[in-house]
Structure 1
Amino acid sequence: MIQQIKQTARLLKKRLEFGCFSYHYWLRPIEKNKIVVCAYYGRGYADSPKAIVAELLHQGLDIVWLVRDGQEETLPAGVRAVRYGSKQAIRELATAKIWLDNCRQKYSPPKRKQQVYFQTWHGSLALKKIEKDAEEQLQLGYLARAKSDAKKCDYMMAGSDFCERIYVESFWFRGEVLASGTPRCDALLKMDMALIQHVAEAFDSKPMTKFALYAPTFRQGENLTAYLHDFSKVHDALQSRFGGEWKILVRLHPNVARLAEHINYDEIILNATDYPDMQELLAVSEWLITDYSSSMFDMAIAGKKVVLYTPDLDNYLKKERAMYFDLKELPFQLTKTPEALVSQMEQFDEIDYHKKLAIFRQQIGSYETGNASVIVANKIKEIMTEE
C-alpha cells in the first residue's frame, strides 16, 4: 500500500510538472507543418519513427526529434534536435500538428483537438504478453501512463491481423489501426546496398562479408550465465555450411549493455551492443541467434534464418510473463546447448524452414510488403495538408 501511494505521488508530481502547467501553450497556434518525433524515450534516431521520417525528409516540414544529451549526432540533416523532457520539448509538442512516438509518452502536454498522434509501438509481433494482457505484472505508474497515452492516440499501425487484434483488445486504444505493415521492418524486406556497405564499414569489414547476429534478451538477474560465450564453432559451422567470409555481431539488450565488456571479441566476433540501430543489424544479417527476443519475428517477416539458443528455457518460462506463442510451435529450432546450436546450423534445412515460415505468416495474417513507411508517411502528409 505504501509503495502504491509513493508511485501515485510521483505520478501526480510528473503530471503537474509536465502536464497542467503547459496549458498556457494553448495560446500559441498549432503549426501545421510541424511534426514532433521521439523513439525509446529520447535514445536517438531509430525504429519505426526513423523509417517514417526518412520518407518525410525534403518535404519542407519542420521535423523536431526529441533526444537525450549526446544523441543529437544520430539525427540526419533536416531534423531539428530538442532535448527530451525539457520545457522546450513540451512547447514543441504543444504547437505541433503531428506527434509520432514508439513508446508511451512520459512528458507531454495535454493534447489539443487539432493535433494527431501516431503511435508506432516498438515491435512487430510480441512474444511475451504486454499491456492489458500483462496488467498484473506492470507497475502502477506505467499502467496509468499507458492508459492516459492510449486515450490520446489517433493511429496505430499493424503488420498482421494478430497485431491489429492486440492493439484493439489490449492497448486501451480506440483510434484507427492502419493496416500498413511495420515501418521498422521495411529495411529487412529490401536489399539496400548502401546500408550493407555502411554497416560493413562500421565494423571494418568488406561489403561482401556475411553477418550472423547474436542478440539475446535480458534476464531479471542481469548476468550473462545463460548467454552464449564461445562463438568459434558457430563461426566454423557458418563458413563450412554456407560458404563465404562470416563475422558474428554480438548485441546485448540495452538493459544489460554494461555487461558487453565481459565478452571476448576479436576480428571475427564483433561488439555491436553500442551500434545505434538494431534494425540495420537485422537487415544486413543472414542469421539471427536469439532466445526470447521479438527480433525473431522481424527476421521471420523477411524470411531470414533464425535459431533459438535457450539453455534456461524451463526456468525462464516459470519466472517471466505468459507468452502469446508456444516457443515449441514457432518455426524456429530450439537448442539448449552450444553443441545442439552448432548441429542445427550445420544441418539447417532451408526448404523445410521456409515452409514453416509460410504457415506461420498465414496463421498471424501477415500483410508486410516493405512499403509501410511510405503508407504512414503519406497518411501524415495528407493530414498535414488538410484545411
Structure 2
Amino acid sequence: MPLISIVVPVYGVEAYLRPCLDSILAQSFADFEVVAIDDSSPDRSGEIIDEYSARDRRVRSVHLSRNVGLGRARNVGLALARGTYTWFVDSDDWIAAGALAAIGERVESTKPDVLMVDYARSFLNGSTKRNVLGQLLAQAPETFHIDDYPELLRTFGVAWNKVVRTEFLREAEIPFPFGWYEDIPFTFPLLAKANRISTLDRVCLLYRQRRHGNILGSASARHGELLDQYELALARLDAASHSSNSTGVAAIAGVRTATPVELRREVVKAYLRETAVGHGLLVLNAEGRLPWPERPAFFQRLVEFARRHGLRPHGIKQRLQMSGAWKWYPQAKKVWKTRPRKDQVTRKLRRLPGLVHYWWQRRQPLEDLAVYSSYWGRAYECNPAAIHAKAKELAPHVRGVWAVTPEHVVRMPQDVEHVVVGSFGYYRAMARAKWAIYNDNLEGEIVKRPGSIHVQTHHGTPLKHMGVDEPGVDVQKLLKRCDRWDFSLSANHYSSEIWARAYPARFETLEYGYPRNDVLVHAPAAPGTGMVLYAPTFRPGAQPPVLLGVNVIVKHHYFDEAHPQPRIERLMLAADVLITDYSSVMFDFALLDRPIVIYAPDWESYVRERGVYFDLMREAPGPVATTLAELQEIFDSGAVWGFAAERAAFRERFCQFDDGKAAERLVRKVFLS
C-alpha cells in the first residue's frame, strides 16, 4: 500500500496534463500512486492518461462514462485510493520538485489527519508568487485542533493544499458536492472534524493562473452557486454538531456545556459566515464572472444570507457595496485601471487619420474579402501563401489581399494584390474583410468584427518557447491580440498542446497539417546534387558553418535577410541534406525523409536564455554536432546518411497531419463551410 494516493481529476486539460503528470513522476520520492480520473473529457486527455498508465505502473487511469464534474470525479478517486494519505491535485497545476519527499517525511513524523501545505501562484509571464499567507503555516504549532489555531482558516479554502489521511476522510463522510465552488463544503467541515492538524512550510504545489478553462475565468450564472455551497458547509457543520450531542454532553450543575468537538465547529461556522459576505462581494464585482443580468438577484441573495445569519458588513468598502454601490464600483475601478498612458496617446495621434478612416469603415458591411499577412508584412510566404493559392482555386469569389510593410513591397509577386500597412487602403481592407489569415499577429488597433473569422496559421512546429512562455514578452498585449483568433492551425498533437498552453485564448484548434508542407508530402526523391541547406533560427551574431568538400547553401532567417531569397519550400526540395539548429524547418524537412543534421554549438546557453519544450539533443532526427569539427566529421565519415529509424520516429511524432491536403481542408472549413 503506497503512503500517498494522488487523485488527479481530468477534464479539458490536454494542454496542461503532461506537465502535471511529469512533475509527479519526476519526484525522487517513490511511495505513491496516481489515480487519474478522466471525467469524460472532450479532448485527448483520456488518451494521455492511458499513455502514462501504460508506461508507468504507478499511474492508474479511470474513465467515467459521463461527465460528473470536478467534485464527483474526486469522490471516485477517493473511493479507489489505496494510499494511507490522499492528495487531490488539479490537472492544470503541478507539484514542486521535492514536494512528495517533504510531505512523506512530515506525515510520518506528525501522523496528522490533515496536513496543510503551501503553494505559489504561477502566472502567464512565467513568474511565481508564494502564498501571501504562507507565514501562517510557518507559525503553526507542531500539531493542533483548528480552535487552537483558528488563524489557519484564513488560508485558501481549497482541497489541493491539504493532504488528508484516507481512512479519516472516508469516515468523515463529507464528499465533494456537485456544482461550482465545491471545495467550500469539503474544506471547512474537514478542518472542524480533524483531531490532528499539521502544516508544512514549503511550496508543494504551483497553482496555474489560467485565463480560460477554469471557473474563475468563466462568465456564467453558475457563480451564483457560491452561496449554496456556503449554506451546505454550514448545514454539514450543524449536522455534525447534532450528531455529537447524541453521543454525550458535558454538564456542570445541570447546565449543558459545549464539548471540544462542538467548540471547533462553532469556530469554523463563525468564520464561514463572515467569509461568505466578502467572498460574495468579490464574485459580484469580479469582471467576467457573473453576467450583469444575474447580478441583482445574486446581490439580493447575498443580503438575505447576511440577514439570516445576523452578519454586518466590515469596513467602508463592504458597507458601500452592501448598500447598493456595487453597481458602479467595478466600472469606476475599470476606468482608473485602463486610463491610457502618455506614449499610447502620442502613438495614436500620429496614426489618427488612418484610425479615423478605419473607425468609419468598420461601420460598413463586411465583404467577401480575405486579408493575408506573413512574417509581419515581410513576404508572400509560409502557410498564408499556400492558403491564398488554394483559395484562388476553390473559393474564387473571395478576394485576397496581402498586407505588406512599405520596405517589403518589392518582394510581392506581381499578380498578388496588396495593401501597404498603415495606409488608408490597409485600414479599409482590415475593416471590411470577412477573413484574416496570418502567421504573425496583427497590430493592436485592429478590432475583430462580429461575423469575421481570424485564422492563426503559425509558422512552424515549436521547439523554442513561444507565446506567454517566451522570455520578456508583454503577456497582456499578446493575449489581447490572441483573443481575436477563431482558429489555430496545428500539424501534430504535440503542437496542439503547446499552442493551447502558450496562447491561452478561446480558439478552436484545426489539426489539419501545415499548408506550406503540401508540396513536400509527395515530393520526388532527393535530387542527388549534393546540395546541403543550412537554415538556422534567428540568433544575432550566429555565423554559418564553413565545411570542406560540402556544398552549403544558406537560407537566412527572415529577420536576417538583407535581400530576397527563394522560398524555403523550394530550397528544401532542392536539398539532399538539411543542417539546422533550433529552427522549425527540421519538422517540415522530415517529410522528405532526407538526412537532418543538428548543429547546436550554443545549446546550453540557448536553452537557458530562450527555453525549449523538449530535449533536442536526446530526441534529434539525425546526428548532432556541437562543434565545427564534429560537424565536419559527420560528413567526412558518412554518418550523415544514417539515422533512418530516428527520422521515422521524428516524422511519426511531428508530421501526423501532413498528407498534402492541408490547404484544401482549411479553405473548405474556413471559406466554404
TM over 0.5: yes
C-alpha distance in structure 2 between counterparts of 1:12 and 1:144, whole Å: 18
- For the residue of structure 2 that corresponds to 1:56, the secondary structure is helix
C-alpha contact (below 8 Å) 2:623/2:643 kept by paired residues: no
Q: Is 1:223 matched up with 2:541?
A: yes
Amino acid aligned to 2:584: S
Match of 1:312 among 593, 598, 602: 602
Q: Which residue of 1 aligns with 2:555?
A: 251
C-alpha distance in structure 1 between counterparts of 2:658 and 2:404, whole Å: 29
C-alpha contact (below 8 Å) 2:370/2:401 kept by paired residues: yes
Match of 1:131 among 461, 467, 485: 467
C-alpha contact (below 8 Å) 1:106/1:145 kept by paired residues: no
- For the residue of structure 1 that corresponds to 2:671, the secondary structure is helix
C-alpha contact (below 8 Å) 1:214/1:250 kept by paired residues: yes
Could you give the per-residue CA deviations for residues 266-318 of structure 1, whole angstroms, max 9, x where no partner exists? Answer: xxxxxxx6305223222322211112222122212332321012233333333
Q: Which residue of 1 aligns with 2:632?
A: 342
By how many angstroms is 1:336 displaced? Answer: 2.4
Q: Which residue of 1 aligns with 2:493?
A: 161
By how many angstroms is 1:152 displaced? Answer: 0.9
1:376–1:184 distance in 2 versus 1, CA, 3 Å: same
What is the aligned residue count? Answer: 329
Match of 2:531 among 204, 211, 222: 211
Q: Which residue of 2 aligns with 1:39?
A: 374
Q: TM-score, normalised by structure 1?
A: 0.75
1:10–1:102 distance in 2 versus 1, CA, 3 Å: farther
C-alpha distance in structure 2 between counterparts of 1:356 and 1:79, whole Å: 40
C-alpha distance in structure 1 between counterparts of 2:343 and 2:567, whole Å: 32
By how many angstroms is 1:91 displaced? Answer: 1.1
Q: Which residue of 2 aligns with 1:4?
A: none
Q: Is 1:326 matched up with 2:630?
A: no
By how many angstroms is 1:11 displaced? Answer: 4.9
C-alpha distance in structure 1 between counterparts of 2:557 and 2:670, whole Å: 31
By how many angstroms is 1:210 displaced? Answer: 4.4
> What is the aligned-residue RMSD (CA, Å)?
3.0
Structure 1's unaligned 5+ residue stretches are 1-6, 197-206, 236-246, 259-272
Q: TM-score, normalised by structure 2?
A: 0.45
By how many angstroms is 1:26 displaced? Answer: 2.5
By how many angstroms is 1:156 displaced? Answer: 1.1
By how many angstroms is 1:15 displaced? Answer: 6.2
Which structure is richer in relative contact order (CA contacts within 8 A, separation 6 or more)?
1
By how many angstroms is 1:104 displaced? Answer: 1.1
1:87–1:20 distance in 2 versus 1, CA, 3 Å: closer
By how many angstroms is 1:149 displaced? Answer: 1.6
C-alpha distance in structure 1 between counterparts of 2:655 and 2:592, whole Å: 15
Structure 1 range deviating more: 15-24 or 351-360:
15-24
C-alpha distance in structure 1 between counterparts of 2:414 and 2:544, whole Å: 39
C-alpha distance in structure 2 between counterparts of 1:69 and 1:102, whole Å: 19
1:150–1:281 distance in 2 versus 1, CA, 3 Å: same
C-alpha distance in structure 1 between counterparts of 2:440 and 2:634, whole Å: 36
- For the residue of structure 2 that corresponds to 1:307, the secondary structure is strand
By how many angstroms is 1:62 displaced? Answer: 1.3
Amino acid aligned to 2:365: P
- For the residue of structure 2 that corresponds to 1:344, the secondary structure is helix
Q: Is 1:86 matched up with 2:423?
A: yes
C-alpha distance in structure 2 between counterparts of 1:66 and 1:12, whole Å: 25
- For the residue of structure 1 that corresponds to 2:504, the secondary structure is coil
By how many angstroms is 1:332 displaced? Answer: 2.6
Match of 1:278 among 548, 568, 573: 568
By how many angstroms is 1:43 displaced? Answer: 0.8
Amino acid aligned to 2:541: N
Amino acid aligned to 1:353: F
- For the residue of structure 2 that corresponds to 1:328, the secondary structure is coil
By how many angstroms is 1:375 displaced? Answer: 1.0
1:373–1:300 distance in 2 versus 1, CA, 3 Å: same
Q: Is 1:354 matched up with 2:644?
A: yes
Could you give the per-residue CA deviations for residues 162-191 of structure 1, whole angstroms, max 9, x where no partner exists? Answer: 111112222122121111101122222232
Amino acid aligned to 1:286: D
Q: Which residue of 1 aligns with 2:452?
A: 115
Match of 1:298 among 576, 584, 588: 588
Q: Which residue of 1 aligns with 2:273?
A: none
C-alpha distance in structure 2 between counterparts of 1:147 and 1:50, whole Å: 25
